[in-house]
A = this chain, B = another copy of it.
Amino acid sequence: MEIRRDVFQAIADPTRREIIDLVAHKSLNLNSIAENFDVSRQAISLHIKILTECGLLVIRQQGRERYCEAQFKKLHEVSEWVEKYRVLWNKRLDKMDGLLNELQAGNKKRNKKQHGLNKNR
- Tally of A interface residues using CB under 8 Å: 25
Complex contacts, A83 vs chain B, CB 8 Å:
79
What's the least CB distance linking A112 to chain B, in Å?
Answer: 30
- Which residue of B8, B11, B14, B25 is within 8 Å of A17 (Cβ)? B8
What's the least CB distance linking A103 to chain B, in Å?
Answer: 19
Complex contacts, A86 vs chain B, CB 8 Å:
72, 79
At the interface, yes or no: A22 with Cβ under 8 Å from chain B? no
Tell whether, in the assembled complex, residue A12 and residue B17 are in contact, meaning their CB atoms are under 8 Å apart. no
Q: Which residues of chain A in 72-100 are interfacial with respect to chain B, using CB atoms and an 8 Å cutoff?
A: 72-73, 75-76, 78-79, 81-83, 85-86, 88-89, 92-93
Taking beta carbons and an 8 Å cutoff, which residues of A are in contact with B?
Answer: 6, 8-9, 11-12, 14, 17, 24-25, 70, 72-73, 75-76, 78-79, 81-83, 85-86, 88-89, 92-93
